[in-house]
């Protein structure tokens, strides 16, 4: 039996590796000249940047974490997280609720007081179950932490009204802070949140794409690049997959492409399925890589919640992940900006986005524009899944259809789930284990 896998990103190459190991005849079809998807890296002027956003290797899932470590072998280094939130020109410890003592005194009091007031209201049964993401933030952290950090940051990254985003996905992904940690943090006793990422790994050379290459290495002869799928047709008990000039036949079809791209390749989708796919919400991203002469700040990454200043919601410092991703005596920054079709960022040229980012980070004192040695901007249409209030109903329609059509959906934008790298690999493990 021949299995065609559409898409050569993290999900696609992991599927190929695991299914091939089980003895299956697999073929990955990737439209770009290189595999990797959102996990591609690029090296320019001696600087290596992850052009689909900053990626690090961590997980609560020990099986997945062990897999990533094993495939990288010696091309892996570990770092202790040193992450900040840029708030009122201060570098506040991340997560925000673990750095309350570093806030201005009045802000610290408001955050602690509102957290306790919200906790008491919850214990008294005065708070209804949150009906959206905005309510979940206020009901979990209180007005102080919500309005100082979580609301403005999430408005920036999602670029979508928070009261129009579902709350169903947050539980288990964003931990509820222990009460004692909030109190300790407010009085200056050291606490550590999100402990599962307190120590992380990163490839020594090659950026995060080195992970994709390592996973794909045993199955490189089963990966076809430069094959853009334009049409998919059912043929007897199998499938015909065309790029417009060549047709490949397969017995089984696994899709890891975004649903919107899969939709464009099928001409017989029911109207309700097409409508459900068209109604799905997502964000695009532009990543700005900045190479610097001299050293940058000593942090791992940093969140930028404030609307004034940079359009970026997060910046990372790749040269602090590995000493081999920048020339000697140099350092690097990667800024991430989410946007949607037609908005201000979408209408700006890449050169203008780079210029605005450098100027804004310079004004904030995060970099010295005179240090800039190299810069680039790379865009990805599909970056973040947005769980709008209609997501669950739309995905129910979509999943039921493709299940009945015998097209398997695996991966971030195929399952339309907000999955980190470990979540993508787990989705592959689960699929392979059940197939």
Q: How far apart are CA 336 and CA 380, in angstroms?
A: 11
Domains and CATH numbers, the chain: 2-37+210-280+387-434 (3.50.50.60), 96-191 (no CATH)
What sections of 147-202 are H helices per DSSP?
A: 151-158, 179-187
- Determine which helix (DSSP H) or strand (DSSP E) holds 350, and give its type and residue range: helix 350-363
Residue 18, classified by CB atoms within 10 Å of its CB into exposed (0-12), middle (13-18) or buried (19+), is buried
Burial (0-12, 13-18, 19+ Cβ within 10 Å), 93: buried
Q: Which residue has the tokens 């040695």?
A: 373
Q: Which residues of the chain have pLDDT under 70?
A: 172-173, 175
The conformational region for residue 291 under phi > 0 = left, psi -120 to 50 = alpha, else beta, is beta
pLDDT of residue 176: 74
pTM: 0.95
Q: How far apart are the C-alpha atoms of 239 and 266, rounded to whole Å?
A: 12
The secondary element (H helix, E strand) that includes residue 427 is helix 421-434
User: What is the sign, positive or negative, of the torsion defined by CA atoms of 395, 398, 404, 408?
Assistant: negative
- Looking at residue 175, its pLDDT comes to 66
- Nearest CA-CA partner of 376 in 351, 346, 340: 351
Residue-by-residue DSSP string for 141-162: HHHHHIIIIIHHHHHHHH-S-G
């Amino acid at each position: 039996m021949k299995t065609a896998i559409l898409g050569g990103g993290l999900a696609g190459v992991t599927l190929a590796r695991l299914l091939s190991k089980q003895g299956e005849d697999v073929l990955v079809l990737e439209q770009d000249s290189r595999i990797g998807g959102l996990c591609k890296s690029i090296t320019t002027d001696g600087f290596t940047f992850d052009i689909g956003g900053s990626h690090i290797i961590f997980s609560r899932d020990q099986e997945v974490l062990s897999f990533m470590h094993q495939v990288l072998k010696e091309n892996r280094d570990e770092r202790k997280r040193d992450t900040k939130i840029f708030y009122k020109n201060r570098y506040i410890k991340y997560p925000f609720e673990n750095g309350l003592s570093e806030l201005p005194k009045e802000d610290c009091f408001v955050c602690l007081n509102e957290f306790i007031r919200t906790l008491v209201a919850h214990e008294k049964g005065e708070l209804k179950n949150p009906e959206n993401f905005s309510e979940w933030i206020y009901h979990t952290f209180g007005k102080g932490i919500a309005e100082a950090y979580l609301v403005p940051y999430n408005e920036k990254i999602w670029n979508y009204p928070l009261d129009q985003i579902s709350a169903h996905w947050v539980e288990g992904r964003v931990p509820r802070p222990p009460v004692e940690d909030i109190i300790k943090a407010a009085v200056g006793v050291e606490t550590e949140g999100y402990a599962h990422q307190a120590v992380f790994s990163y490839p020594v050379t090659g950026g995060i794409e080195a992970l994709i290459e390592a996973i794909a290495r045993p199955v490189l002869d089963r990966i076809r690049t430069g094959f853009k799928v334009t049409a998919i047709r059912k043929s007897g008990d199998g499938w015909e997959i065309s790029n417009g000039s060549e047709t490949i036949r397969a017995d089984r079809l696994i899709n890891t492409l975004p649903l919107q791209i899969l939709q464009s390749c099928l001409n017989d989708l029911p109207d309700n399925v097409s409508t459900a796919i068209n109604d799905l919400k997502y964000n695009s991203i532009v990543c700005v890589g900045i190479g610097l002469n001299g050293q940058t700040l000593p942090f791992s990454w940093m969140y930028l919640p404030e609307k004034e200043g940079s359009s970026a919601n997060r910046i990372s410092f790749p040269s602090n992940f590995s000493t081999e991703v920048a020339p000697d005596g140099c350092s690097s920054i990667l800024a991430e900006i989410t946007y949607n079709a037609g908005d201000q960022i979408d209408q700006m040229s890449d050169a203008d986005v780079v210029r605005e980012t450098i100027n804004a980070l310079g004004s904030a004192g995060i970099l010295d524009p005179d240090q800039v040695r190299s810069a680039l901007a790379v865009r990805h249409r599909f970056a973040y899944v947005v769980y709008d209030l209609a997501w669950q109903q739309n995905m129910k329609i979509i999943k039921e259809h493709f299940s009945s059509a015998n097209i398997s959906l695996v991966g971030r934008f195929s399952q339309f789930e907000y999955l980190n790298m470990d979540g993508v690999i787990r989705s592959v493990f689960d699929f392979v284990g059940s197939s």
